[in-house]
Structure 1
Amino acid sequence: MMNIVLACQYGASTDLLAVKMQEAAKRLQLDAVINAYSFTRLEQVVDAADLVLLGPQIRFKKKTLQEQFKDRNVEIMVVNTVDYGMLNGEKVLLDAIAEIQKKENRNSH
């Protein structure tokens, strides 16, 4: 099972995207947990996450968060701005899966 965490300033806009991603996961018959939070709650949820997706509006926090969570087994990625704005849950989900698979391939070598 994949655990994907979306994070934005307050968790509201990513909540809409998380719903679209959940719908896509169901359609694609993927076993995934997808939740949205304010980036201030990441410390509480990051350990269970395979991937943290940042909303484009907080892309500037990526390096800080990577440093903060460098000892955790989690990738941090910024959601494509167009896909975010269009609430393209399936595309964002497929991008997230690709990133998780890259991580798994790196860890297996």
Structure 2
Amino acid sequence: MPFNVTESGVLVIPLRSDLDIDGRAAAAWAIDGYLAAHRSAPVVLELSDAPLSTAAVSTVVRTHRMCRSTGAQLAVVAAAAEARRALEVQAVADGLIVRPTRAMADAALSATSELFAAAA
């Protein structure tokens, strides 16, 4: 599973929205390694345009939980409105940032960083 680190230090991980159960285990293993290697870096999960599977939702929720436990911020990019709606249930409960574009996700991460910096 490929990943990218932007010049500003954001870890960008593409995730197939139609992930199946077998793929979920491999994705979780890869994401765990990326998060360990880039500890505390803000993270963007970019979902593909495919319909959102239960395994993909589970992977997003797991990644969000892991990021919270390490203090890393997470934003999810889901271009498909249906995928955003499915994830917004989780967003309301746990503060997950879900945006339709990468630029909006980056802006949300930046705004959150500024809030944390002001509070410190």
Q: Which structure is larger by alpha-carbon Rg, 1 or 2?
A: 2
Higher relative contact order (CA 8 A, sep 6+): 1
Provide the TM-score with structure 1 as the length reference. Answer: 0.47
Q: Indicate the structure with greater strand content.
A: 1
